[in-house]
């Protein structure tokens, strides 16, 4: 099975956008090689600004460039690119509704051996609550390219969550996504598994395991966390009557919370959230997914618990 990291799409897509005529720039914080924005700098040095280890400056420089009419992407790792510069994202970018796209890499526990200090598990929560900010969580390389293209062509702030870990391909080059968008990647009748990011492929694996036990699981890809594709989510929940959310992120304030809020307001059905409730630890990304019950096996077990309640 082909596996590619979502961060691999970053530099490549920025170059494609420039070639298509968009006035795109990137600002990074001494991590351009890891985030892949260095590829844009190699293609056109005038389109990449590296501010050094200074994420607050990164956001403010991006804001300044956006005020000149450019579409600006920021890099860094997610733990630094959202947490360390939250004040600047909130008060400089979002309050003024600037055309800055916050697109850090290395999100979630699949950062792996870098450990808990670098495993950002709160970024969706932080970005989702901000007025004017849209939040996209791509499931694979092709979805990441689509998310970056959507971000570039959508006026105002957009957050795109990218990862370091190589994950299975769910889509192909024809995928376009949307704002909002939730895709039915597998149809089922007994339970809805609403997954985001790297968890989409794990949810599909869980559905295979559940099928062996006679449980028909419908799998949704929550590509757009804000805004939510309410119509698709509600239609699936209405059909199955049970929802299990799964995310490589804290269960507090993330994808599961967003869906639980929607169901609580418009379609009260049982909703069980699977995700992180602690900090992570240092190990290989796949090992961590299994350890924290976020692989196919762990999700399948949680679905059975949810259906048994």
Angle at 240 between CA 235 and CA 245, to 5 degrees: 85
CA proximity to 29, closest of 3, 54, 11: 54
- Cβ–Cβ contacts within 10 Å for residue 136, how many? 32
* Inter-CA distances, 228 with 128, 139, 149, Å: 11, 16, 18
55 is catalytic: yes
Q: How far apart are CA 209 and CA 143, in angstroms?
A: 25
Catalytic one among 8, 55, 248, 302?
Answer: 55
Q: 185, 204 in Cβ contact below 8 A? A: yes
3-state SS assignment for residue 254: coil
Distance CA(206)–CA(194), nearest Å, equals: 12
In this structure, are residues 40 and 26 in contact, taking their beta carbons and an 8 Å threshold? yes
Q: Do 276 and 250 contact (CB within 8 A), yes or no? A: yes
Active-site positions read 55
């Amino acid at each position: 099975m082909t596996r590619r990291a979502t961060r691999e799409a970053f530099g490549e897509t920025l170059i494609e956008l420039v070639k298509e005529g968009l006035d795109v720039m990137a600002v990074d914080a001494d991590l351009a090689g890891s985030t892949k924005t260095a590829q844009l700098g190699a293609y056109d040095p005038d389109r990449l600004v590296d501010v050094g280890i200074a994420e607050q400056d990164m956001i403010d420089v991006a804001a300044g460039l956006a005020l000149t009419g450019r579409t600006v992407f920021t890099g860094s790792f997610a733990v630094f690119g959202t947490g360390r510069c939250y004040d600047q994202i909130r008060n400089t970018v979002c309050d003024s509704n600037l055309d800055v796209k916050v697109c850090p890499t290395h999100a979630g526990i699949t950062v792996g051996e870098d450990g808990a200090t670098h495993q950002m598990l709160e970024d969706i929560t932080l970005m989702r609550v901000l007025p004017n900010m849209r939040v996209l969580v791509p499931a694979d390389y092709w979805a990441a390219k689509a998310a970056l293209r959507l971000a570039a062509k959508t006026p105002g702030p957009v957050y795109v969550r990218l990862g370091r870990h190589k994950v299975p391909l769910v889509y192909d080059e024809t995928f376009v996504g949307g704002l909002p968008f939730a895709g039915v990647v597998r149809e089922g009748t007994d339970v809805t598994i609403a997954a985001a990011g790297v968890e989409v492929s794990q949810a599909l694996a869980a559905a295979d395991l559940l099928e062996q036990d006679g449980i028909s699981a419908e799998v949704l890809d929550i590509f757009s966390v804000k805004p939510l594709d309410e119509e698709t989510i509600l239609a699936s929940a209405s059909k199955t009557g049970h929802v299990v959310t799964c995310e490589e992120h804290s269960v507090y304030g993330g994808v599961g919370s967003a869906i639980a809020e929607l169901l609580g307001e418009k379609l009260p059905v049982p909703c069980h959230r699977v995700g992180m409730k602690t900090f992570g630890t240092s190990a290989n990304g796949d090992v961590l997914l299994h350890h924290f019950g976020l692989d196919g096996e762990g999700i399948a077990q949680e679905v059975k618990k949810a259906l048994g309640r």
